[in-house]
Amino acid sequence: MVHYSQMRVKARLNLHRVERLLEERGWSKYRLSRLAGLSYGHVIMLLQGRRPNPSIATVAKLAQAFGVPIEELLEEDDGVVAR
């Protein structure tokens, strides 16, 4: 059985949506990293597109921090695949 944290989403993180949510809330990337429980460097790499296929656990942390469904942070929702 594949552990939840090892799953990868087929869809890419919608960087424009994340940036828009940051702007709407007046949050810095650092604040997002703290609220999501991710390192600041990880958040920066995600938003620069250097980690285009984050784990579902990472997307879930971002979604929880923003208070939105996971699907809202994905460009297309075509499922989940194991690493």
- 35-79 per-position pLDDT tens digit: 999 999 999 999 998 987 888 899 999 999 999 999 999 886 455
β-pair partners for 28: none
Query: Average pLDDT in the 3-23 region?
Result: 78
Mean per-residue pLDDT, 7-24: 85
Quote the CATH superfamily of domain 4-82: lambda repressor-like DNA-binding domains (1.10.260.40)
On whether the CB atoms of residues 67 and 78 are closer than 8 A, the answer is no
Q: Residue 3: is its pLDDT beyond 90?
A: no
What SS3 string covers 4-60? Answer: HHHEEECCCECHHHHHHHHHHHCCCHHHHHHHHCCCHHHHHHHHCCCCCCCEHHHHH
Cβ 36 vs Cβ 61: under 8 Å = yes
Span 6-30, average pLDDT: 87
